[in-house]
């Protein structure tokens, strides 16, 4: 089965129609780092990351990984770690998304495997399925309410893809 992002506000999966938000500037097949677009295409999904200090381990067929305070995702095109999970250290001199946040956006997240295997610098990084409370546009990710995210987690499996129109 495939998750389909039908438009700027609708995610479809099986018989479920779920409200979502996407990149502030819509969709692009020519995604670039920092352009506020969600990448068009069909992509695999990564592991499910969750904040164990805020939530119980979600019910999912995906591998579930607890987010800890020193986890980040590199969004620095000059780094050899670009678009990869990293360990945040004190003197780290690269740019990254902190996964252990004060807000609740990343209490649950699944990396969308965009620009993932053969990474192209500046093509875009840290594209996630993550949480939202207000459906404001994202920097390029797909955001859902927690209740809907948890339903989706129960339904998807490792072979599930996401198609962003």
> Six-digit token pair at 146?
């927690």
The stretch 71-95 carries a mean pLDDT of 96
User: Closest Cα to residue 85, out of 108, 103, 104, 68?
Assistant: 68
Confidence (pLDDT) at 113:
98
pLDDT at 108: 98
Residues 90-129 have pLDDT tens digits of 888 999 999 999 999 999 999 999 999 999 999 999 999 9
Round to whole Å and give the CA distance between 49 and 32: 25
Arithmetic mean of pLDDT, 46-50:
98
CATH code at 13?
Answer: 2.40.440
- What is the per-residue pLDDT for 149? 98
Q: What is the mean pLDDT of residues 136-160?
A: 97
Q: Give the range of the structural domain holding residue 138, as residue numbers without chain letter.
A: 2-164
**Residue 85 pLDDT grade (very low, low, confident, very high; cuts 50, 70, 90):** very high
Three-state DSSP class for residue 124: coil
Beta strands in the chain (DSSP E): 2-7, 10-13, 16-19, 27-28, 38-39, 41-44, 48-50, 64-66, 71-74, 85-87, 96-98, 108-111, 128-131, 142-144, 161-164
Nearest to 111 by CA among 57, 45, 13, 61: 45
Number of domains forming the structure of the chain? 1
Percent of residues, the chain, with pLDDT higher than 90: 98
What pLDDT score does 83 carry? 98
pLDDT of residue 145: 98
pTM: 0.96
- How far apart CA 29 and CA 42 sit, in angstroms, is 11
The mean pLDDT value for 29-52 works out to 98
Residue 101's pLDDT is 97
Q: What is the DSSP letter of 23?
A: B
The whole-number pLDDT of residue 163 equals 98
Q: What is the mean pLDDT of residues 3-15?
A: 95
- Name which of 139, 117, 121, 120 is nearest 130 in CA terms: 139
Per-chain mean pLDDT for the chain: 97
């Amino acid at each position: 089965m495939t998750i389909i992002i039908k438009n700027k506000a609708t995610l479809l999966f099986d018989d479920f129609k779920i409200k979502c938000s996407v990149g502030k500037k819509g969709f692009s097949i020519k995604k670039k780092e920092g352009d506020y677009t969600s990448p068009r295409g069909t992509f695999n999904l990564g592991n499910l990351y969750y904040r164990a200090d805020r939530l119980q381990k979600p019910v999912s067929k995906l591998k579930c990984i607890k987010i800890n305070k020193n986890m980040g995702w590199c969004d620095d095109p000059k780094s050899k770690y670009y678009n990869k999970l990293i360990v945040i250290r004190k003197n780290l001199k690269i740019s990254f998304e902190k996964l252990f946040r004060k807000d609740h956006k990343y209490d649950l997240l699944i990396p969308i495997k965009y620009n993932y295997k053969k990474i192209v610098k500046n093509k875009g990084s840290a594209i996630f399925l993550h949480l939202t409370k207000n459906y404001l546009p994202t920097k390029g990710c797909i955001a859902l309410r927690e209740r809907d995210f948890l339903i989706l987690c129960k339904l998807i499996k490792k072979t599930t893809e996401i198609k962003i129109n």
